Structure 1
Amino acid sequence: MMTEVDYYELLGCSRDADHATIKTAYRKLAMKYHPDRTGGCQDSEAKFKAVSEAYEVLKDPQKRAAYDRFGHAAFKQGMGGGGGGHAGAQDFGAFSDIFESVFGEFMGGGRPGGGRQQRRGADLRYDMEISLDAAFEGKSTEITVDVSGICEACSGSGATPGTGKRACNTCGGAGAVRAQQGFFVVERACPTCGGSGEIISDPCAECRGEGRVDQTKTLTVNIPPGVDDGTRIRLSGEGEAGARGAPSGDLYIFLHIKRHDLFERHGTTLHAKAPISFTTAALGGEIAIPGLDGEEHVIKIPAGTQSGREVRKRGAGMPVLQGRGRGDMVVHLEVEMPRKLSAKQRELLEAFRETETGEECPQATGFFAKLKQAVGG
């Protein structure tokens, strides 16, 4: 099953972001990944198309409302938004159906002219916790979910095998009824057949005419490398089954990354704290940090390093989701002073102190000089 990246995640915006925030985020990314600025890089071009598609949907209030409710499935019939193209007449018809699903309940239900209604199965949410190592490498895992699935006894029709359905007498098979209210004619789903336009004479004994039964499913989820906390993966058609043969909903996997013992993640950058001895800080040297890739990354410590200094290791961070390359590793150095000294070490340090001129630690020397002036003043 294909992984689809959430449009809000592509633009780096929250789901409640206003239009101005979304527009600003899109412009920054469009400038960053525009083919004219990246020398025709295929990865950048793919990113440019992806963020353009996301913006085309989220900038339009109606398309955004449909996407918020149905996700990518809202545009599977050709609506799309890729590359800044415009929807044709056929595309608008497909979106019109979705728009009615979102707003129809506030307008009396159903479109003018009636017609049978198929209630799509509900979308489901599954929260999955994974380690930072799994987010780095990607993984394929199985999950078990309790869900209403298609009844195998009647193949989802709701009728006993060998029997059929008949047109509803109340609505004549239209699935909708009309009622006069003053000057207005209000159309609603038929209360007898629930909008399906059909009546089951002999309901299936297994599902009691619903066409679906409670069952437990085992599903495979493919997690790509580089996913971040809150990444959403859609499993199409794995949500609740629709009643009496209606389409199934989708299952959305929301990923949550566990806290790591060493690294703290900010986007594709990994941050780590590393204590170093005061002699290494003074004289310089090297330390080795084990990366999520299984390699030992050598960090060079310049002589005279102060506590709090950051050293960056290029390309040692998290993979870029659905792209190439990796982020960086930033090591925050903390100088650790010795707590216990041998007699020999103390002797050597005493000898060093006797040779100090004040130039070795200019900040300390300058601070106490200013302090004396302030007190003397």
Structure 2
Amino acid sequence: MGDFSNPFDLFESLFEGMDGRSRQSWDGAMNGEDEYYSLVLNFKEAVFGVEKEIEIRRLEKCGTCDGSGAKPGTKSSRCNTCGGQGRVATQTRTPLGIFQQSMTCSSCNGTGETRTPCSTCSGDGRVRKTKRISLKVPAGVDSGSRLRVRNEGNSGKRGGSPGDLFVVLEVIPDPVLKREDTNILYSCKVSYIDAILGTTIKVPTVDGMVDLKIPSGTQPGSTLVMAKKGVPLLNKKNMRGDQFVRVQVEIPKKLSSDERKLIEELSELSKGKTAAGMR
């Protein structure tokens, strides 16, 4: 199972190789390539985390030649191109002088030896196989997040270290709740009567339906905050964002005669209060 206790595992691969180190050592050992896998999560799986079992195809050590790349029973000989060094030097003449560079020998691929290739792996020393891996996705991930599983990439050559597995996440949006970083956005509709008098409504959250109190006198477009009903912070499950509820006040397009009469009486009462307050 992958270990994601270190948050930097999600991002540190971006800086690999910037120190100039080669994936191949001087003795011909070559580190394995990283493998990538795309995983689709639903909205709540991304919010709260989930355990998934995935199936990947990767290069593993050939069982026929035990990773050597040579046909069993045959002997290797020293490479004539590099003299058994595994590397060759090239020179380039520039206006600043002669530039010399050491490169992996293309004849022996850095082994320093030539051999009869294994018929199973065609001399690569590796064959592609399927493996199932248990993956723990932490709470708070989002589309584009990358999880790193160390040493679960392609096998190295000639004793080289295996590569890593990077799982790239894609999250399916929720049709009702909108996510912005660690916060959740939701819009609700209330009648103008409920906005004036106040009420309690049921609101969907990632935790399920929750009661939300609409205070009396709530204005159209007001935003109410439901604390700690948002998304957990990555690797900090005890800390969560908030849910913001934007209130839309519905004004009826048509009124019955009784409703119009009551509204007109309320209007006259309001005008009377305003006039009294100006005296």
Structure 1 length-normalised TM: 0.62
Name 2:102's counterpart in structure 1. 187
State the percentage of identical aligned residues: 34
1:290 alignment partner, one of 204, 211, 220:
204
* Partner amino acid, structure 1, of 2:3: M
2:221 alignment partner, one of 298, 301, 308:
308
1:350 alignment partner, one of 227, 247, 264:
264
Matched, 1:199 2:199: no
CA contact (8 A) 1:269 1:330 kept: yes
Name 2:7's counterpart in structure 1. 5
Matching of residues 177-326 of structure 1 within 5 Å: 177-179=88-90, 185-200=100-115, 202-294=116-208, 296-323=209-236, 324-326=238-240
Name 1:139's counterpart in structure 2. 50
- Unaligned segments of structure 2, at least 5 residues: 275-279
Residues 218 and 337 (structure 1 numbering): CA distance in 2 closer, same or farther, change over 3 Å?
Answer: same
CA contact (8 A) 1:5 1:231 kept: no
Name 2:83's counterpart in structure 1. 172
> More relative contact order in 1 or in 2 (CA 8 Å, sep 6+)?
2
User: After superposition, what is the alpha-carbon deviation per residue over 1:41-83, rounded to whole angstroms, capped at 9, x for unaligned?
Assistant: xxxxxxxxxxxxx8xxxxxxxxxxxx5353xxx7xxxxxxxxx
Structure-1 separation of matches of 2:46 and 2:247? 26
- Unaligned segments of structure 1, at least 5 residues: 10-53, 55-66, 75-94, 103-109, 361-377
More strand by share: 2
Tell me the secondary structure at the aligned position of residue 248 of structure 1.
coil
Residues 344 and 166 (structure 1 numbering): CA distance in 2 closer, same or farther, change over 3 Å?
Answer: farther
More helix by share: 1
1:124 alignment partner, one of 35, 39, 51:
35
Aligned residue pairs total 267
Q: Give 1 or 2 for the bigger CA radius of gyration.
A: 2
Name 1:371's counterpart in structure 2. none
Structure-1 separation of matches of 2:242 and 2:127? 50
Structure-2 separation of matches of 1:356 and 1:328? 37
Residues 321 and 100 (structure 1 numbering): CA distance in 2 closer, same or farther, change over 3 Å?
Answer: closer
CA contact (8 A) 1:268 1:320 kept: yes
Deviation at 1:153, TM superposition (A): 2.5
